[in-house]
Amino acid sequence: MGNSMRLFDTHAHIGLIDEDPIEQLIISQEARHEQVDGILSICNNVRDFFDLYANLKTATNVFFAVGVSPSEVTNPGKDWEAQVEKGASLPRVVAIGETGLDYYRKFGDRDSQIELFIRQLELAARLDKPVVIHNREAGTDILDILSQKIPPKGAVLHCYSENWEYAQKALELPVYISFAGNVTYRNARNLHETARNMPLDRMLIESESPFMVPAAYRGQRNRPSYLPETAKFLAELRGMEEEELAAQLFENSCRFFGLDL
């Protein structure tokens, strides 16, 4: 691989960085200049997914997840399950999500969130896709449900925010753990401990654009092109060469999403 570092951004809300289709293409190309060779595009609902998918048809470095996030629980969209299934059959759509639970924002009620989550786990199993999991202050329920319902292709806990003890339990399942820019914050000791100790072959990296900007870019809206900062931080944390870490993370991403890049 020489010195050319390759990174895979496993979670970016490209549609929330910019609404303009041309800008969205520019964002995905700009990332390539920073050696971000793959991006997983995430939308919160099916309507946004189809719009963005059409806009980014020519951006061959962008892959997609399709699903309904907990924020949409009171209005998941008409025939959303059939729509997710339709989306999942399109080229470069590699995962279901994001889905999960968010008890911080009090979207709808917990039972409705749980039902929406379980239905998408069952859908992922049926469609033979992995799932992208959103967890905000709902760790116990997420783990309980995953232990019963995790699809065969596994799940990624995106923008990891729990502690090392939680990670050890989660890693007993076919779960990958993805770190966003918040791992670079000095006070994120829980995340540092997890990132330092967890098995490297289950680690992923993400921008979570436009949120969770790495410390070096604090005050700006996040973009996939800022991902190398997070990789650099994780490499230092683990006492590794950046290229070596990047290569392993890229390999993990391809394995998890079933890609041959």
Q: How far is residue 98 from each of residues 165, 202, 218, measured CA to CA in Å?
A: 24, 19, 25
pLDDT-derived band at 4, boundaries 50, 70, 90: confident
Percentage of residues in the chain with pLDDT exceeding 90?
A: 96
pTM of the model: 0.96
Q: Does the pLDDT value for residue 134 go beyond 70?
A: yes
Give pLDDT, residue 1. 36
pLDDT-derived band at 227, boundaries 50, 70, 90: very high
The string of DSSP letters for 53-120 reads HHHTTT-TTEEEEE---GGGTT---TTHHHHHHHHHTSTTEEEEEEEEEETTTT-S-HHHHHHHHHHH
The model's pLDDT over 10-43, given as tens digits with 9 standing for 90+, comes to 999 999 999 999 999 999 999 999 999 999 999 9
Could you tell me if 146 and 172 are in contact, meaning their C-beta atoms sit under 8 angstroms apart?
no
For residue 1, the tally of other CB atoms under 10 A from its CB is 10
Mean pLDDT of the chain: 96
Give pLDDT, residue 106. 82
The model's pLDDT over 161-213, given as tens digits with 9 standing for 90+, comes to 999 999 999 999 999 999 999 999 999 999 999 999 999 999 999 999 999 99
Rounded CA separation 13/17 (Å): 7
Please provide residue 41's backbone torsions phi and psi, each rounded to the nearest 5 degrees.
-85, 130
The model's pLDDT over 47-60, given as tens digits with 9 standing for 90+, comes to 999 999 999 999 99
Give pLDDT, residue 3. 54
Please give the sequence-ordered ranges of beta strands (E in DSSP) within 158-225, or none if there are none. 175-179, 203-205
Q: Average pLDDT in the 80-108 region? A: 96
Q: Does the pLDDT value for residue 136 go beyond 70?
A: yes
Rounded CA separation 92/76 (Å): 23
Could you tell me if 72 and 44 are in contact, meaning their C-beta atoms sit under 8 angstroms apart?
yes
The string over 129-146, giving b where at least 16 C-beta atoms fall within 10 Å of a residue's C-beta and e elsewhere, is bbbbbbbbebbebbbebb
Helix, strand, coil fractions of the chain, as percent rounded to 5: 50, 15, 35
Q: Does the pLDDT value for residue 2 go beyond 90?
A: no
pLDDT-derived band at 255, boundaries 50, 70, 90: very high
Q: Average pLDDT in the 65-73 region? A: 97
The model's pLDDT over 8-19, given as tens digits with 9 standing for 90+, comes to 999 999 999 999
